[in-house]
């Protein structure tokens, strides 16, 4: 009777019958956790954690004033948009609408070109 009991449990505990790839699943899980932790560490080191917040709008300017300048814009509910600096100059035809003046206290006042209107718009 003792022999029979050993046979039932012996199949699972026998060294020859074990799968050699049994530990690979744990190794894969460990590698995935390490990769996610590395990505989060990179985002934190470059101060880009605002990109992870879905309710916040963010604009990032990389290399301002350089030839390889990039503007990264993330708006709420929209995909992240990356704009690269190009040599093209914007142009076209249009109408003059008015003049904007910056006051000493930092406010900007827009004065329409039409002389009949007396309203102005002030923004900060």
Q: Domain coordinates of the chain in residue numbers?
A: 20-52, 53-91, 93-124
- At residue 122, the pLDDT reads 54
Tokens of 39: 């990505």
* Angle (CA) 43 40 48, round 5°: 20
Reported as a single tens digit per residue, the pLDDT across 42-95 is: 988 887 777 777 778 888 888 888 888 888 888 888 888 888 887 776 667 777
Q: What is the pLDDT of residue 76?
A: 83
The answer to whether the pTM exceeds 0.85 is no
Calculate the alpha carbon distances from 13 to 9, 16, 20, 25 in Å.
7, 9, 14, 20
| Residue bearing the bigger pLDDT, 58 or 20 | 58
Give Cβ neighbours of residue 68 (< 8 Å, ≥ 6 apart). Answer: 84, 85
Distance, in Å, from the CA atom of 8 to the CA atom of 16, rounded to the nearest integer, reads: 15
């Amino acid at each position: 009777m003792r022999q029979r009991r050993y046979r039932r449990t012996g199949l699972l505990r026998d060294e020859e019958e074990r799968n050699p790839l049994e530990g690979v699943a744990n190794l894969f899980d460990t590698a995935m956790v390490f990769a996610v932790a590395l990505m989060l560490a990179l985002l934190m080191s470059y101060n880009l954690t605002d990109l992870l917040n879905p309710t916040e709008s963010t604009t990032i300017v990389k290399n301002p004033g350089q030839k390889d300048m990039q503007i990264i814009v993330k708006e709420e509910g929209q995909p992240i948009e990356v704009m690269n600096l190009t040599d093209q100059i914007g142009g076209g035809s249009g109408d003059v609408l008015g003049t904007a003046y910056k006051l000493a206290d930092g406010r900007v006042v827009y004065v329409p070109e039409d002389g009949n209107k007396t309203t102005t718009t002030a923004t900060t």
